[in-house]
Structure 1
Amino acid sequence: MMKVTCGFTIPITLYGLPPSVNNILKVMGEITDAGFNTMEMEIVAGEYDDYKANWDTITNHAQSLKLDVVSIMAVTYEMFSLDKAKRDKSLEDFATICEMTAGIGAKMITNCFYLPPEMVPKERTSIYHGGPSVAVDVPEGFRWSDLRGIVIEQLQKSSAIASQNGLQFAMEMRAGDFISSVDGIISIFNDCNVKNIGMVYDVAHANAINEYLDLGIYKLGKYLKLVHLSDNDGTRPYHYQPGKGNIDFKNIIDTLKKVNFDGHVVVDISGIDNILEEAVKMKNLVEELIAE
């Protein structure tokens, strides 16, 4: 049966990205008090020294609260850089984050299709903090085939690193990333030709690119590993609570049941007032839909 999980968008909304170690410890208690017993986390490459130094404390605190971390997002902004040295460093950071992920008992490591840093405009703008850039700066001599080849190679290497750490590996689809459609990502996955790969299906992002949300679930098939739930009206990938947009959550849960999805569905709301209170309301709603 599907399980409802607290997304890391909630700690980010409360305490910024990335939350300090003290705030991680604090928010774990707040999440548990709110009724969640599972959560996601994010670790930012180049900014994880404090987390790493205190990882045993964080792990022990989660265990004392009986709060399971189910997945961790490795925020590696240079994973698909056009510069090989930067790509290699990102893989090193990814490996470290995989070790931390396995250490806390999580079973899944995730990532995003971050725009290569060489293609991010100097005046970077995004819809929300930590979100995709809203513009792209295409360098002289750029060829899509070259970048696509880089993506496949990096995903293959990431998959191998995750497997070495006993983790499932999945990529999140986000509107605004340089690969941002269900069909495009499936094509990439097929060409990677590795077993340990899949998708975090974020319905808010899928809605913003006008994907048929239920059909997307069928398209993904074996690649569907994790589901992020939040609401919007399809014009932007905002992550609102149910009722603030036009997403049919009952239809999504019913479709997940039809394909026998038994993984985690994540309360992934962000940037709203009274977020813990709203997260609890959403948790209750989704659990009721699952139980129907």
Structure 2
Amino acid sequence: MRDWAIGLSTGCFYQRSIFDCLETIGSGGFNLVEICSFPAHLNYHDTGAVHRAAERMASIGIEAYSFHAPFADHIDITSLDAQRREQGVKEVLVAAEAAAVLRARHFVIHPGPEHALYPTGDERWWRLEHVARSLSTIATRCQELGVLCVLENKLSHLLFGNIPDMMWILGAMTTTHVGVCLDTGHAYLARNLDSAMHKLAGYLKMMHASDNAGHHDDHLPPGEGHIDWVNVLRKLDDSGFQGSIMLEIAGRGEPHEVMAAARKARRYLRDQERKL
């Protein structure tokens, strides 16, 4: 059994400034976090704010394990329009620079646009080509910055939200300095959690842990949905996983209630580890 570090995504406070929740997170017992890039939480375009956040985290004793790249309809690194595609890459690279300032180890990115597209024929092929090239540029810059770019499996209704496409993209990229962040909630909704863990094991660097009942991406704390966490943790152990687990739970309730739910989820995962 491995004693993996369990951290918390600040996305549970995405509508609050990061400066208003770091102390809450630290005093709540978490010193390892993934930083959310939602503008109201942290404006990664504001270099001064990013540096202040890094200083505040250092003073509290919180480490940025990962930084989540921005995702929105207007950020499309697969676009057939070169100007739009290049603008999307540029936006992501600004966030990668912020991740480096925050000394994050990993830069988590969705490999494709945030809307449902079902292109066929040439359009699908060109979008695959574009996303591989765009991600190669991003991953190479991340390497220069001392950050590892990791691709997250998306919701299955989104373009490239399936494991075969993800494997193709990883193989088509021109750099090997890339990994994978497994999102348990997304994979469970796609009914392929076991398969995803098996096929992506060689690339797996970290995990987003959330639960659901198989119908919606509810971002429930582990243990409150239908995922078999003993099975998930056993597969992690069997694969030799050496990364960390980031709780990516919804921020339901007041901050103290969110932190109580996070601590409960961490205890639950520790209890499941003991069953291995």
TM-score category, normalised to shorter length: 0.7 to 0.9
The answer to whether structure 1 residue 39 and structure 2 residue 33 are counterparts is yes
For 1:155-194, what aligned pairs fall within 5 Å after superposition?
155-175=135-155, 176-194=157-175
Structure-2 separation of matches of 1:53 and 1:137:
41
Counterpart AA for 1:255: K
Task: Give the ranges of 4+ consecutive aligned residues of structure 1 lying more than 6 Å apart after TM superposition.
Answer: none
AA in 2 matched with 1:3: A
Which has the higher mean CA deviation after the structures are superposed, 197-206 or 69-78?
69-78
In structure 1, list runs of 5 or more residues that go unmatched: 116-131
User: Which runs of 5 or more structure 2 residues have no equivalent in the other structure?
Assistant: none
Q: Is the 8 A contact 2:133 2:174 kept in 1?
A: no
Q: Given residue 59 of structure 1, which amino acid in structure 2 is its aligned partner?
A: A
Alignment partner of 1:67 out of 62, 67, 70: 62
User: Is the 2:69–2:95 Cα contact (8 Å) retained in structure 1?
Assistant: yes
Q: CA deviation at 1:50?
A: 6.1
Deviations for 1:261-289, whole angstroms, at most 9, x for unmatched residues? 11110111115343221111001222333
- CA deviation after TM superposition for structure 1 residue 137, in Å: 8.1
Structure 2 CA distance for partners of 1:271 and 1:59, relative to 1, 3 Å? closer
Contact 1:230 1:267 in 2 (8 A): yes
For 2:88 and 2:206, how far apart are their aligned partners in 1? Answer: 23
Residue 181 of structure 2: aligned partner:
200
1:280 maps to 2:263: yes
Any residues of structure 2 matched to 1:257-268 within 5 Å, and which? Answer: 257-268=237-248
1:54 is displaced (CA, Å) by 1.5
Q: Which amino acid aligns with 1:284?
A: R
Corresponding residue of 1:29 = 23
What is the aligned-residue RMSD (CA, Å)?
A: 2.4
User: Which residue does the alignment assign to 1:118?
Assistant: none
* Alpha-carbon separation, structure 2, partners of 1:191 and 1:49: 29
User: In the alignment, is the contact (CA less than 8 A) between 1:153 and 1:192 conserved in 2?
Assistant: yes
Over 3 Å counting, the alpha-carbon distance change for 1:291 and 1:59 in structure 2 is: farther
CA apart distance, 1:173: 1.0
Aligned partner (choices 196, 205, 210) of residue 230 of structure 1:
210
Change beyond 3 A, Cα 1:26–1:36: same
Closer, same or farther: CA 164–50 of 1 in aligned 2, 3 Å? closer
- Residues 50-65 of structure 1: pairs in structure 2 closer than 5 A: 51-65=46-60
Per-residue deviation at 1:166? 1.2
CA distance in 2, matches of 1:85, 1:38: 37
AA in 1 matched with 2:183: D
What secondary structure does 1:210 align onto?
Answer: coil
Shift in CA distance, 291/243, structure 1 to aligned 2, threshold 3 Å: closer
Indicate yes or no: 2:6 matched with 1:4. Answer: yes
Aligned to 1:154: 134
Quote the residue 2:272 is aligned against. 289
CA–CA separation in structure 2 for the residues paired with 1:246 and 1:55: 38
**Separation (CA, whole Å) in 2 of partners of 1:186 and 1:36:** 33
Moved more, 103-112 or 191-200: 191-200
Give the distance between the partners of 2:52 and 2:11, measured in 1 at CA: 22
**CA shift for structure 1 position 193:** 4.3
Structure 1 pair 80/290, CA: closer, same or farther in 2 (3 Å)?
same
SS at match of 1:94: helix
For 1:121, the equivalent position in structure 2 comes to: none
Superposition deviation, residue 291 in structure 1: 5.4
Q: CA deviation at 1:4?
A: 0.2
Question: CA separation in 1, counterparts of 2:227 and 2:118?
Answer: 32
| DSSP 3-state at the match of 2:21 | helix
Tell me, in whole angstroms, the C-alpha distance in 2 between the residues paired with 1:50 and 1:252: 37
Percentage of matched positions with identical amino acids = 20
TM-score normalised by the chain length of structure 1: 0.83
**TM (normalized to structure 2)?**
0.87
Q: Write the distance in 1 (CA, Å) between the matches of 2:118 and 2:112.
A: 14
Q: What is the CA–CA distance in structure 1 between the aligned matches of 2:27 and 2:143, rounded to whole Å?
A: 34
